[in-house]
A = this chain, B = another copy of it.
Amino acid sequence: MSTGRRLTPRGEERRAQLIAHATSLFATRGYHPTSVADIVEGVGVGKGVFYWYFSSKEELFVEILLGAQSDMRRRQQRAIADLDDPLERLAAGVRAAVLWSAEHRDLFRLFEFAATDDTFADAVRRGRSVMLNDAVHHLHAAIEAGRIPPADPERLAHAILGVSTLVTLEYVHHRGEPAEDVADMVARFCLGGIGAA
């Protein structure tokens, strides 16, 4: 993960400040409307500081994106770790995704934007495909075990991702309903959708 650059603790903290503030600005105003001047102003430093830590606004955004993806993945893996049943693993993964999205509204909004922008869409797809592969794996196992009717696991995985994304956006982010409730509803809908009892 390290970019090779040597940073003192002070530098490390500055960098983190910039990332944090940029994330919040990108999420609230959007990527394009947020200028580098806005970012450094919010942290209270000169413009040159930004380019000491990042080579461009674009590079910073990608870094935030990749960091968020791997953080979410880590959370999902942890939630799944001690489960054996494929359908339980699937449901736990979905729940973990919803809960993570509830706790990281800013990062979730960044995903949403990045997916619609040609410059970042590939990075989003690459990150997604990792998560999707996990789901495909569980779905495949469930089909093999006769727990759900045969179907293309990849399509099912995409459908599940679609439900999680839009329902989380609407109910957790927009209406502020409890993430746990929403996660339960999403998991239930998805289990029905794939044909589980």
Contact = CB atoms under 8 A, between A and B. Distances in A.
Given A163-B159, A166-B161, A118 B28 contact: yes
Contact of A166 (B28, B159, B170): B159
A184 B192 CA distance: 16
Contacts of A117: 30, 113
A185 B193 CA distance: 10
Interface in A1-43: 28-30, 32-33
A167 B161 CA distance: 9
A178 B33 CA distance: 37
The 9 nearest A-B residue pairs measured at CB: A162-B166, A32-B32, A193-B193, A162-B162, A189-B193, A113-B116, A162-B163, A192-B193, A159-B163
A113 B109 CA distance: 12
A161 B194 CA distance: 16
Given A163-B163, A167-B159, A112 B118 contact: no
